[in-house]
Amino acid sequence: MGESVLTEAKRCLQCKKPLCKEGCPVNTPVNEIVKMLLEGEISQAGEVLFKNNPLSIVCSLICPHSRQCEGHCILGKKGNPIKVSHIENYISDYYLNLLTAKYTIDKNKKVAIIGSGPAGITIAFILASKGYNITIFEAHDKIGGVMRYGIPEFRLPKETLDRIKEKLLYMGIKIRPNTLIGPTITVDDLFRDGYKAVFIGTGVWKPRGLTIKGETLGNVHYAIDYLKNPSVYTLGKKVCIIGAGNVAMDVARTVLRSGSREVYIIFRAGEEHIEADEIEVEYAKMDGVKFLYYTMPLEISDEGIKCVNTELKKAEDGIDTVYALEGTEELIPTDSVIIAIGQGPRTNIVSSTKGIDVNNRGLLTTDEFGRTSREGIFASGDVVTGAKTVVEAVRLSKKVAEVIDEYVMSTYKCN
């Protein structure tokens, strides 16, 4: 890795108007950190990356770089773009070992963070640097949210998240694992106990179903549940996955690594309509995943999936509509079925808290700065936007952290 990082860094043109920076949702100053690296200032480069994006080490591994920094690199127009992800990961990994920042915490500047996914961790790092007394409430036993329980180990090593946890604790941030806010501890309880603001970053953990016959059978599972702990599932030799987003690709590649011999992606449209990033589809194919296009499930049984062929037609509004082709029904034999067509938010918080508005998808409604309909409660990440990338959660959460700081400082005079 070291030699390739050096080679890539030396290829950087140091553009006066770096398109790679413009292509990054958080405007990572690639040209600046490359220059620092080549001048022997790797720790300074790491500090710049961390302050700009506390989850830089994660984003360097899992971002869709071909659509962002690397996809905008000027060298990519006529050849190969600089592998910005390799450079960013090298610097961020190095810097995380050096990160020993410890802040003077004002115990009265108390903020509760519900959820330790990308949004919650970003908020925690930023507010801790401003002297806030932070407690993170995490429903699972370990931090990371979708990064830990929704992204496979081969894409994002869990050891990376463990290192991030160590830094959170070192900064004085408290973490309460296995604590689901809503059933026992409510948001009102948090305000009662002196928290000046509450941030909700609980993600989307409720799987979306197909609502077809057979969905309750023992050989049917949901993607978001499977990815939490693949080792507890016995799927058999042949597995069919319904859906074609990035989660479906992660599931398919994980299933193959877990011992199944045949894995098929079932998708009701053609390859050009796949929602997953192109590189994720290519990796899935390279790993041996097969694709069944223009195929729609009708019913699931113990023997397999009854499907029908489809075609797309333009509706009057110009949107492609899927139509089933009569007489094309057939049974696709399979041992297990995994449904990967998306997920939504759980209702444990909004059902136990008055004054928090949600939209027709159950997502929290906020203004552009993360303010919910109830004063003192803020939100960002997937619970607001629906399932998005980690870097998008970071981008929004940076804004929200500043607004939380402004709110607390304007409503409470520190002792």
The pLDDT of 363-375, averaged and rounded, is 96
**304: β partners:** 333
pLDDT for residue 271: 93
92-126 confidence digits (pLDDT tens): 999 999 998 889 999 999 999 999 999 999 999 99
What SS3 string covers 199-236? EECCCCCEECCCCCECCCCCCEEEHHHHHHCHHHCCCC
Q: How far apart are CA 58 and CA 345, in angstroms?
A: 23
- Between CA 365 and CA 348 the distance in angstroms is 16
Residue 338 CA: distances (Å) to CA of 83, 106, 230, 300: 34, 48, 12, 11
User: What confidence tens digit (pLDDT) does each residue in 257-304 have?
Assistant: 999 999 999 999 999 999 999 999 999 999 999 999 999 999 999 999
How many Å apart are CA 344 and CA 143, to the nearest integer? 20
Tell the CATH topology of 110-205+345-411: FAD/NAD(P)-binding domain (3.50.50)
Convert the pLDDT of each residue in 220-240 to its tens digit: 999 999 999 999 999 999 999
Q: Which two tokens stand for residue 233?
A: 């599932």
pLDDT tens for each residue of 116-174: 999 999 999 999 999 999 999 999 999 999 999 999 999 999 999 999 999 999 999 99
pLDDT score, position 262: 98
Fold match flag (110-205+345-411 vs 207-342): yes
207-342: CATH, from 3.30.360.10, 3.30.300.130, 3.40.50.300, 3.50.50.60 = 3.50.50.60
Q: What is the residue whose two structure tokens read 């509760």?
A: 112
Q: What is the DSSP letter of 124?
A: H
Compute CA distances 83 → 3, 250, 286, 373, whole Å: 13, 22, 21, 42
- From CA 402, how far away is CA 116, in angstroms rounded? 18
Task: Report the distance separating Cα 327 and Cα 71, nearest Å.
Answer: 44
How does residue 317 score in pLDDT terms, banded at 50, 70 and 90? low
Q: Which DSSP category does 306 fall into?
A: E
CATH topology assigned to domain 2-98: Fumarate Reductase Iron-sulfur Protein; Chain B, domain 2 (1.10.1060)
CA distance 197 to 159: 31
pLDDT at 291: 98
Residue 215 near residue 232, CB atoms below 8 Å: no
Give pTM, 2 decimals: 0.94
- Residue 131, both tokens: 């002297």
> How is the chain split into domains, by residue range?
2-98, 110-205+345-411, 207-342
Cβ–Cβ under 8 Å, residues 345 and 205: yes
C-alpha 52/C-alpha 42 separation (Å) is 15
